[in-house]
Amino acid sequence: MTIAIGSDHGGFHLKEHIKETLDAMQIAYKDYGTYSEDSVDYPDIAEKVAKAVADGQHEKGILICGTGIGIGIAANKIKGVRAALCHDTFSAIKSREHNNANILTMGERVIGLGLADEIVKAWLATDFAGGRHERRVNKIMDLEK
Ligand code: RB5
């Protein structure tokens, strides 16, 4: 499994921290930027990560901005992406089990490093439950047609 990870300036420090967490978990990732605290526009980063996930270059993605909201809204414009904003582990787990989320978004200005680590670990460890949820996710994807 490889992860596409990206952030704007508002999520830069949390992105760097999550990269260390992924290193410790021995999970491979590609960093799609941003690479400094300089101001950038979050839709540009969302587009890169979302297209890489939708194209199948990576199984999953992690996107971080100040709130996790803007970068997730932008990512969900890309066909095939199901980006979920999660600031608690229950939502992270359910976004995988019920929604088959393929991108996790978080806000650096909202949560601390420890909770973000737990969210990432829970999200990556949880599989899609399928069954009745598959029918519902298929209906979401049908909305893209
Ligand atoms: C950048 O200042 C900020 O607007 C961005 O990181 C994000 O929170 C937008 O949703």
pLDDT (tens digit per residue) in 5-26? 999 999 999 999 999 999 999 9
Tell me what the mean pLDDT of segment 119-126 comes to.
Answer: 98
What is the C-alpha to C-alpha distance for residues 76 and 47, in angstroms, rounded to an integer?
A: 9
What is the C-alpha to C-alpha distance for residues 78 and 95, in angstroms, rounded to an integer?
A: 18
Q: Determine contact, residues 101/84, Cβ cutoff 8 Å.
A: yes
Q: Which atom, in ligand 1's list, is nearest to the CA of 10?
A: 6
Q: How many angstroms is it from 65 CA to the middle of ligand 1? A: 6
Q: Which atom, in ligand 1's list, is nearest to the CA of 107?
A: 8
Query: What CATH number matches the domain at 2-142, 3.40.1000.10, 1.10.10.10, 1.20.1560.10, 3.40.1400.10?
Result: 3.40.1400.10
Q: Determine contact, residues 83/63, Cβ cutoff 8 Å.
A: yes
Q: Determine contact, residues 99/131, Cβ cutoff 8 Å.
A: no
Q: Determine contact, residues 112/121, Cβ cutoff 8 Å.
A: no
| CB of 70 closer than 6 angstroms to any ligand 1 atom | yes
The pTM assigned to this predicted structure is 0.98
**What is the residue type of 99?**
N
